[in-house]
Structures are given as structure tokens and as C-alpha cells.
A and B are shown apart, each in its own frame.
Chain A
Amino acid sequence: MTTSREQPRIDRRDALRALSLTGLGAGLLAGCEAGEDPFALTKPAVPGADGWMRGEERWVSTACGQCPAGCGVRVRVVEGRAIKIEGNPDCAVNRGGIGPRGLSGPQVLYDPDRIRQPLRRVGARGEPRFEPISWDDALALVSERLRGLREKNEGHRAAIVCGRERGLMLELWQRFAAAYGTPNLIDGMSTENGPVADAMHWMQGVREIPAHDWNQTRYVVSLGSGILESSCQLVYFARAQGSMRRGAAGSRAKIVHAGVAMTRTAMNADEWIAVRPGTHAAFALGLAHVLVRDGLYDQAFVAEHGFGFDAWKDEQGVEHAGFKAALLEYTPEKVAEICGIPVESIARIALDMHANRPCFALAGSEALLASNGVRAAMAVHALNALLGSIDRPGGLLVQRQAPLADWPEVEPDEIAVAALAQERLDGAGGPRFPLASSVLDALPEALLSGTPYALDSLFLYYANPLFSRPDPARWRKALEKVPFIVSFSPFLDETASEVADLILPDHSYLERWEDAAPAPSIGFAAFGVRQPVVQPLYSTRASGDFVIQLAKAIGEPLEEAFPFADFKDAMKQRVVGIFSAKRGSIVEEKGNDFLKRLYGSGYWNDDSYPFESWEETLRTPSGRFEFFSQSMWKAISEIATASGKTPAELLAAHGLPGDLDRVCMPGYDEVSWRGKSEEHPLALILFKPNSYPVGGGANQPWLQELTPWTGRRTYTTEAELHPDTAQAAKISDGDRIEVASGVGRIEVVARISRRVLPGIVRIPQGGGHTAFGRFARGWGANVMDLVGVVPGSSLSGVPELCGTRVAIKKVQA
């Protein structure tokens, strides 16, 4: 509910109309208004509609593109218009269910503020003044620039930001980068899901977030995970949670949520353990400690498939302490003290977990997106190993990939090879971020300092850093330094409208061919096809097609690296693999029949998961589950030597205690908060509400009018405060308050609630757009203004979204 009730403004025209209306006039006019049918509005013309018979209706299967989950959907198309989206029962991920994001698809397709043709900036950056240009001109423009760079042997001065974590579009960009020759491809995995994927990478040798066997598990410990509001698998988790809840109490699986707030996840859990921000890892280690202390951990698994649990010697015969020893310090008492929870709860939960195996623990952004993120993720992962839940029924699974055929190998020419050898701009894999694969948030610093080299061209695919990355102001400054920026955004988002020199609008996901590799969830392999459900509304172009055309336009040697007619063709070349594998839900003798069925049902999946296939799931140097990550140890030592330092020095340079062994094992470090506790006493916890799909969604009224949390205020950004916190600052519910950090300040509405711990300010992402269309603009505040970009302390370049301290004060209106 609101307090402001301003009346519509009345200008002279209104007044005149009003007067003309008064009395009899009013009556007559009302009569005329009844003239055109109020019960059926006439729809605007859309391309291809005339090919449909009146009232003709088709259901087209495709894959949702609103978030990485890749749910299968069926779209109801009437007279060439997409009317409604429903879940596709054939899809193993959502089984006919569908979430609010997926349902809002039509509002993406028919957003009134979509970009309708390629745009070139006229006039200065900052103000959104563009001129439309033809696709051919645009292609020429880009290809010439890129060719020019290559000829100057400066391919590395082009960078690509691809907001995808997986899928063929990412691979296509990687292919492009490799063939063209630039090391600077930054993918989406470097963002929220980074730490979990890293933990998997260092301990299991698979850089991907794990899947979980919800159907068979009996106990789940969620460490600040937002599975029911912020995750990339909302529908699947909701379904899984539902399936867990069936059956009488006792036989039902339990969920325990340890976190700083009563989130939706906590709301639906059986128990909420309120731990202090950033101490989730300690809690996990406490549980592990109890399990080990009482000998309740899966000794068989540790013995057969574990590495570095007990002390061990490396080739040089140097003795290394094991994880077991490291665990000793995390006694329940100490952990309880760190987390601010009753001692008994730790032992209780630990025993419960052991009693109710199979069980697993999973951590979420609130626990991981801080300086200590990766080790925290490793701690949780280690806990799962101790419970013997790795690749076992009811435990953690490694998402199997569909048996796609490979594209022909790319042979980079020497120009490319030379460029690829260059140091990455974001410092990933270098002394700056030795453990990172790519660090999006490191770009601003690199661009501003111009080291190691100045960037010439930047390609933004599914990336809107000026809104969705920490410290947009800094990004703005940094991107000013880049002479040529291309955005593929279908909407005029902040980045596109403010800094992009060229906008090549992508089709909406309901208009293009694409694959949909579901984010890890079901475990077993699945492959979804995203296909056009309606004819493209405007002269937009699928970015996949554009990349291929670009490669061809640049010419030698990229041409032969891209032997595809278009992206659909490229995808088909991969799908052949599934066809020839002759397994899973679709098996056909003839390739065309296979394709027909694939496109018909929109999904292929092979719903058998081979448990305990260790060679698949443990790809570490030791071939075992590494409590002590040798690959990490190796990586750091090598990078250190390469930069002529000892590992200890390298660590010191990052402000870490110099013990390399310690770093390579799971553990709990205190969060190195941004901002001193004196002037910024409160911890900022931000989260993605489930009305926040890929690319925002603030332009989808259906999502925005769904309140981000269990409150009612819409079209505003609220900060959730504990009554004590509020009282201390003399703030009451509904007040406008200013939240300030060392980086910036925003104005939000206070929401007093016992559902957060004292000393915390919890704010959802997604508000405060300055562009992005009529529905998104002009309400709420962007919490990213409070968060700083990545500092040096982190080895993996984790975006520290939950590592900021803030202060609040009431805004005197």
C-alpha cells in the first residue's frame, strides 16, 4: 500500500475537454465511447499474421529463455501472435510446470520499447541519440574494424563479454575468439555461480555447478541458498521441494535453512537457523567437525575416493597436513560463537544429517559472494563428500551433457596465436586472479588503468554492466575509455543507451533458433531447442547468425572456422551427435524424423543417470575427490614462479596469510568487509527476487507487479530491516531511508520485519533503471550503486555482492 495519491495533472486541453464534456456533452460523449467494442480490443498488425486463418490456433514447443534453467514450454499462438506460455510436460526439467518468469515471455516479445533495427550512435555518449542503419552497413562497420585490428596484430584489443554460462552461443563466441585471436572472452560463469563452480573445479575437476538428486534425498541443508527465489532453477526446485513434501511427516524429507534472513527458502524449510552474514562456511565446517569427531562420516568413500583428508606427501616428499587436521579448530563451541547460534543446534543437525542419509548441503549467493566465497563453497562441498553424497543417489550429481557432435577443430593462424598468448585484460589466470577463469568485474580497473593494454572494441552479448554489475558509475567511467562498443541487446538498456556506439538488436528468445542447455538440475543429459514461435516482429537479427556472418565478412582465416549457413545449421551439426547416439527420449532411424520429433517436442533427454561413474565425475589430477586441491596448489605455485615470486609472496600480495596449503583446503575466513564498521555498521545483503530473470525483467509488468518478497509494495525498492536495527536509526515501516556505503548511496523504502537478523540491510536487485523501457524506468533504486568492484584480496575474483558494509538514515522529506 502507498501513501502518495497525486491526482492526474490537468492541463488546459484537459480543462477545455472537461468543460465541453460537462452536462449534456458528457452524456453524449459517453454514448459515443460505447461505440467501439470495449470487450475486444483490436490488435495491431504483426508480420505473418495474414497467413493464418481466422481464429487459427497452434501450440509451438520451445525452450524458455527467461533464465538459465531452460524449461521446456509450449506457446499458444493465435493468428500469428504468441498469446500464452505454458509448461511442456515432455521436458524433464519442469514436467509441465512453469514459473512466473517463463509465463512473462510474451511481455518480452511484445515489449513496446524493443529496438526495431540496428542503431548507430549520433552525437556524444551519454544521451540516447541514435540513427537507424541497415544490417549490411552494420556488418561492414564491425568487420572492417575487426579486420583492421587483426592486420595490426592487435586482435587481443577486442574483448567479448558473453553473459552466458553454457550453451552453444557461448561456444560460438569462444570459437570466434579463438579463430579471430583474442584472449579476452569473459563468460557469465564469472558472476554469481562462480564460487560453486570453482569448488567443483578444484575438488572434482569439473567447472560446472553441481546437480542434486532431490527425488531420492531425505535431508537437505541449505546454507544461504536461494533455491526458491534467486536460483537459476526456480521451477525445478519448486517441483523438487513439492515432491519432497509429499507423504506424511517422518517419511518426508526435511529441509534446514541456515541464513541471515527468512527468505522464501527459509519460509518453506522445516527449520531456519539464523547465522551471521558470511559465516555459513563456519557452520558447514562445524557440521563436518562433528561428523569426523564422532566418526560418522563416510569413511569408505574418503578412503577409496578421497584425497588429502589425512596428511600426505607430494613427489618432493614434502609432508602436507590434511583436511582432517584443518577441521580440528572448528569445534561446535567456536562455530556457535562465530555464527551466533546455539551450540546444540550444530551437533543436532550433524547427527540428523547422518541419520537421514542420503542427504546433501548446498550453498547460495548470500554465503558465497564475499571475499571468502571459494573456500566457503569448498567447505560445503567437502561436507557433502564426508556425507558420502558425491555422485550417489540422493546426493550431488555432475550434470551430464547431451552427446553433441563436435564442430570441426579451429586452427588459429599465427596472428591469432600471437594474440591469444597475450595476457588477459581481466587478469584471470594471471598473478592478479590466479584461480579465476574470467573476472568480469575486473574490467573497469583494467580499462581505466589501460594496463596491460588499452581496449579497442568491446562486444556486449547479454551483458548490461551499467546496471547489473557492481559500481555502475565506475563502469561508466571505464567504458568511456573504449573507443568502440557494440551491444546486442534487444532492449535499450543502460549500457546500450549510454555507451554503445552500435546496437545490433538480437531477436527476442521467442523469435530465434537456439539451443537450451538446462542449468544443472536433473543431472541426466537433456537438450532443449529454442525455436521461433512467431515471425520476427522487427528487423532484428539473431546474434548467432550475425557472429557467423561477421566471421565470413572478416574473411581469412575465420571463414573456414565457420562452415555454417546460419546458427540453426551450426546447431544441427551438433545435434547430429544426439541423433547418432540413438538413446534417450527420441530415437529415430532417419535424421529428418529425428529433427521433426525434436523440434516437435522441443526437448530431448536421457533420463538415466549412471551413479558412481568416478572417471566421469572425479577428473582431478589424483582421480579422487580432493579435500586438498592439488590443481589449485599447482596453479598458484606455477603462476607465482612465472611472475618470479614464491607462492607465499603471491598470497601476501593479495593480503592473505602466507600458508599455501591452507588456501588449497576448504576453510572459513572472516569476510573482509568493504567499509569500516564505525561509519558503516550494517551488513548489506542483496539478492535476486524471483521476478528478476536474465537481463532484468523490470520491463515486464507481470513480474514487477509480483512483489519481490512476501510483502505488497510494488514498483519500489525496499530495504528489509530488523525492528531493532530500525529503532536504532529511528526508522519506521514505509519511511524513505538513505543507504550509504563507501561506494555510493541510494534511497529506498524501509520495510521493518522480524524476518532478517539485526545488523543487516537486505535489498533486492532489479530496481532503479534509468533506461530499459517505459515499465522499467523511473522507480526504485539500484543496489549495485552500493557495491564496489573486485579488490585484490580475492584469488578467484568473486564478485563480492554480500561483502559490503552500509549505514542507513531516514530521509527528511
Chain B
Amino acid sequence: MGSLLEVDGRRGSSELRWWSLAVFLAGLVALGMFGYAQQLMHGDLVSGLRTIGQGGAAWGLYIVFDITFVGLAFGGLVFMTVVRLFHLRALRPLSRMAQIMALISLGMAGLCVIADLGRPLQGLLNFPKYARPMSPFFGTFSLVTCTGCVATFIYLWLDSRADAATQAARGGFLRPLHLLMAAGWRNTPAEAWRHKQTSYLLALALLPFMLIGASTLGFVFGIQAARPGWFGTLQAPGFVVLALISSMGVLTLIAAAARRKPSLAAAIRPEIFGWLGNMMWILTAVYLYIVAIEELTASYAASAVETRVADSLISGAYAVPFWTAMACFVVPAVLLFLQFLRRRVSVATTVICALLLNAAAIVKRLLIVVPSQTEGLLLPYPKGHYLPSWVELAVIGGLIALGVLACLVFARLFPIVPLITLADERSVPHADERPKQRASRLFLTGATLCAGLALAVTGFLLSARFGTERWQDPLVPFSPILFISGMVLIFGSALVYELLPDAGKRAPDPVNR
């Protein structure tokens, strides 16, 4: 019960709120599991999905939320890295929220894909066996969900060592956990300096990496020549921008939620929301621009089917959701823009806009995924239609609930806002002159890094079936795992660099003092 106690006077009521909320969410999760069990028993027939060309769509809600969660993760990482790289002190209070959001939604994304698979068990077995980079799914699955998770976790961990140490110092039944997290943080200038270095480089590495991750999702759709409405070069950028929008939105929500705790209210100043709001309206503007281009091109397109899909959105079967989504993009954008002009930030407005934008983003994704399957049929099959079944809704609901629950628990076990910012970084010693480095540290780090790179490259090439028949098993079994572990090592080198203990004189342990 670490951080909640000391600041919060009205403990009882907040306790009650917390637990009731947790129980409610747990219930949703249980419902989701029940729904998924249905799917395991009766097959995907219980979903609203059906065969393309026979009046159905083969992809639906699961894929939509896979995109959503990957987007959130991407956005979260971008946020934290940007904060770190450009020393945006003002936003630092949100960085940990962003990290948590990224970490959790990566997990959710993975689960979404699993839920979509016809043979989940086979999926877990066969993906590490046969995965091939030529398929964009390789990116989403191995890169994003596996490697991304690890990388983010590492960053999160390193970044929260100092706080963990302080928490541990406070004692409490979670002390062992905190000690584990602190990983012997002694608050020495050297450590602080080193941490700055690592977090800096990590951030630098993560940014483009996640960019690729988010883009591969775009590729999944962009490269489908047979699916009018998808085929195009704008998919990847579109996905990226949309991802940023929704992640900024969710971040706003989390911040707002955290802010309800008096102890944090001070730290999460309204300016932060102003900044988020600005990000949102700018990004939304960009996105609307992209959408406009897409629809315009499509409606001029020679291909009859291309136009049919476009029309189905603008004036056809999907017009209502489409224009609703558009409205939910435009209205908040305008509101936030006004807020920007008026230079007065209203948290409430920002939150509402964030909600609207996220709803819009999800609907828009649904409108990317579905119509090209139901309307974009190149042969004169009858048009299809798709309505999510209760099972799909339950599973997705369960997943979201799971995510929120995880957030809550984390917030309960650990300061959701870096304590250091609470103390205006007074506790962090300024380490201006560079301390002496151990040669072995640099060497080991380099070694891990190189090993990682080597592994990753070989794993990649092997799973790309270089030198073998395309249909054969990779020369080295489980070479996709090689690739993933390679990536993990690359990021793991950061751990090596930072956690390798210093030789020589031990600074007094602040925890066991």
C-alpha cells in the first residue's frame, strides 16, 4: 500500500472506491474469458466474422483493437522518449504513465492477435517455428509485441530504480519487490550520470524501432493489391498518426485519473493538459489531411471497386459511422485549437476531447478494416456485412478491463508519478563531470550489443529462408526466436551497462541505512 497512504487523509473512502472499481473490472475480465472459452469450444463461428465473398468479413474487432493497442504502445513510447531526449521537464511527471501505458497495451495487442487466431495454441507453437519476415505480421508479432515489451520493460525498470529505492526505504510489505526493482540503486552521482546516458540512448533506439513496428501494421493493409481501399502508400503514415492521436488521448485520461489524487494534483499541472491538447489537435489536423487525400484519390480512381469502397464510406452503407467518426475528429480538434488560442487550459475539455478522439480513432480503424472486405470485392460476389458478436465484444471488453486493472494495480504498488519530480529533482545530484568508467563495463555492454545484433540479423535471415526452399523449415529451428532474443539482447545491453556494479569503494546503501 506504498504511496497511497501517507498523503491521503480520506483513506477509507478512496480504499472503497479502489476496491469496488477493481472488482468491477475483474468481473469484466471474467466475462471476457467466458466469451473466449465459447470461441475455443464452438470455433470462430461464435464471432460475427464470416468468409469473404460469402457475405462476411474475415477480420473484425480483434484486429481493430490489435491496431489500437499497438498504436497506444507506440504513442506511449514516443512520448516518453521525446520527454527524455528533449529534456521536457514539464512533461516528465507523465513519462512513467506513458511507459506503463506502452507496456500494458503491448501485452493487450498480443492477446488481441491470439484471440483472432483460429488455432491459438498452434499459433503459439508455430509462430516461433515458422514465422517469416516477408509477412508484415512478423513485424507486429515478433517485433512489436515480443521485443517491444522487453525493451519498454527495461526502460521502465531502469527509469524507476531511484523511486524504487526510496519506496524500499519506506519499508512496507512490498519492500522485497521494491528492493528487486531498485537493483542496488545507491543514488551515487556516477549511477545518476550513467542512468542519464542509458535512458538517453535507449530512448534514441526505441523511437525508430517502434516507428517500424507501428508502420508494419500499416503494411499489413497497405500491400493488399486485392483489397481496394487498403492498397496504397498512405496506410503506414496514417496508422502512425492515428496511433499518436489515440495515445495522447489515453495519456490525457490516465493523467486526469491520477490527478484526482490530491497528492498528485500538484505535480500534474494543467499546463501538461494544455500540451497534450495541442498535440492532439495538431495530430488530428494532420490525420484529417491524410484521410482527405485518401478519399479524394479513391473517388477520382479509375477502378470501379476502389470508388465503390470510397462511396460506401462517404454516402453508402458505412456513411453514418464514417461521418460520426469525422465529427468526433473535427469537433475536439476545433475545441482544443480554441483552447490553444485562448491560452487557457480547461482539464475537463481536454479530457472530453480525448474521449471523443479515442472513440473516433477506434471507429475509423473499424472503417479501415471492414469495408474493404465487405465492399471491396473484385469479383461480383454479393456484398458482405459485419456486426461484432457478443463474444467479440466480451473478449475486447475483458481485455480493456484487464489493461485498466493492471494500471490500477501498478499505481497502487508504485508511484505513478516519479517521486523525483515531486521533489523537483532536488534529490538527484548533478553529475556534471564525467565519473571514471570501468573498461569491463563498456566492453561487456559492447559485447552484448554486438551479440544481440549478430543474433538478430542471423535470426532474421534464417527465418527469411535465405538459401533454403521457401517452404522448408528454417535451417536452424526456431530461428524467429533467435531474432527476437537478438533484439532483446540489443536492448538488454542497456541493463548490462547500467546494472554492472562498480568495483572499489561502495557508496553507503541508502536503503539499508
Chain A residues near B (Cβ < 8 Å): 1-3, 5, 7-8, 10, 14-15, 17-19, 21-23, 26-27, 29-31, 34, 712
Contact = CB atoms under 8 A, between A and B. Distances in A.
Contacts of B153: none
Nearest to A5: B48
A712 B383 CA distance: 12
Contacts of A21: 37, 40-41
B252 to A, nearest CB: 33
B46 A8 contact: yes
A78 B45 CA distance: 33
B10 interface: no
A10 B121 contact: no
Interface residue range, chain B: 20 to 34
A625 B352 CA distance: 92
A127 B105 CA distance: 60
A21 B33 CA distance: 9
B277 interface: no
Contact of A31 (B42, B48, B121): B121
Contacts of B120: 30
25 contacts: A1-B55, A1-B56, A1-B383, A2-B55, A5-B389, A7-B46, A7-B390, A8-B38, A8-B42, A8-B45, A8-B46, A14-B38, A15-B34, A18-B34, A18-B37, A18-B38, A21-B40, A22-B36, A23-B33, A27-B121, A29-B40, A30-B40, A30-B120, A34-B121, A712-B382
Nearest to B45: A8
Contacts of A14: 38, 41
Interface string B95-127: 000000000000000000000000011000000
Interface in B382-412: 382-385, 387, 389-391
A600 to B, nearest CB: 44
A26 B391 contact: no
Interface string B349-393: 000000000000000000000000000000000111101011100
By Cβ-Cβ distance, the 9 closest A-B pairs, closest first, are A1-B55, A18-B37, A22-B33, A21-B37, A30-B121, A1-B382, A22-B37, A8-B42, A18-B34
Contacts of B37: 17-19, 21-22, 26
A21 B121 CA distance: 14
A23 B34 CA distance: 9
B219 to A, nearest CB: 30
B2 to A, nearest CB: 29
A22 B121 contact: no
B233 interface: no
B41 A17 contact: yes
Given A30-B40, A31-B121, 19 more contacts: A1-B54, A1-B382, A1-B385, A3-B385, A5-B48, A5-B387, A5-B389, A7-B390, A7-B391, A8-B45, A10-B38, A15-B34, A18-B37, A18-B41, A21-B37, A22-B33, A712-B54, A712-B55, A712-B382
Contacts of B46: 7-8
A760 B41 CA distance: 47
A5 B382 CA distance: 17
A607 B121 CA distance: 62
Interface string B12-53: 000000000000000000100110111011100110100000
A329 B41 CA distance: 72
Contacts of B38: 8, 10, 14, 18
Nearest to B386: A5
Nearest to B47: A7
A29 B36 CA distance: 14
Contacts of B384: 1
Nearest to A17: B41
Contacts of A2: 55
B340 to A, nearest CB: 46
Nearest to B125: A34
A14 B391 CA distance: 14
Chain A CB within 10 A, most for which of B33, B120, B383, B391: B33
A7 to B, nearest CB: 6
Contacts of B56: 1
A38 to B, nearest CB: 10
Given A18-B38, A18-B41, A26-B40, A7 B389 contact: yes
A22 B34 contact: yes
Contacts of A17: 37, 41
Interface string B126-160: 00000000000000000000000000000000000
A92 B33 CA distance: 62
A18 B48 CA distance: 19
Nearest to B33: A22
A3 B33 CA distance: 27
A708 B390 CA distance: 33
A326 to B, nearest CB: 49
Nearest to B120: A30
Contacts of A34: 121
B383 to A, nearest CB: 8
Contacts of A19: 34, 37
A388 B382 CA distance: 48
A22 B34 CA distance: 6
A522 B34 CA distance: 63
A555 B272 CA distance: 107
Interface string B193-223: 0000000000000000000000000000000
Contacts of A15: 34
Nearest to A21: B37
Contacts of A712: 54-55, 382
A21 B35 CA distance: 11
A101 B382 CA distance: 26
Nearest to B390: A7
A791 to B, nearest CB: 42
A2 B45 CA distance: 14
Nearest to B55: A1
Nearest to A1: B55
A30 B119 CA distance: 9
Contacts of A23: 33
Nearest to A8: B42
A757 B38 CA distance: 48
Nearest to B389: A7
B397 to A, nearest CB: 15
Nearest to B381: A712
Contacts of B40: 21, 26, 29-30
A31 to B, nearest CB: 7
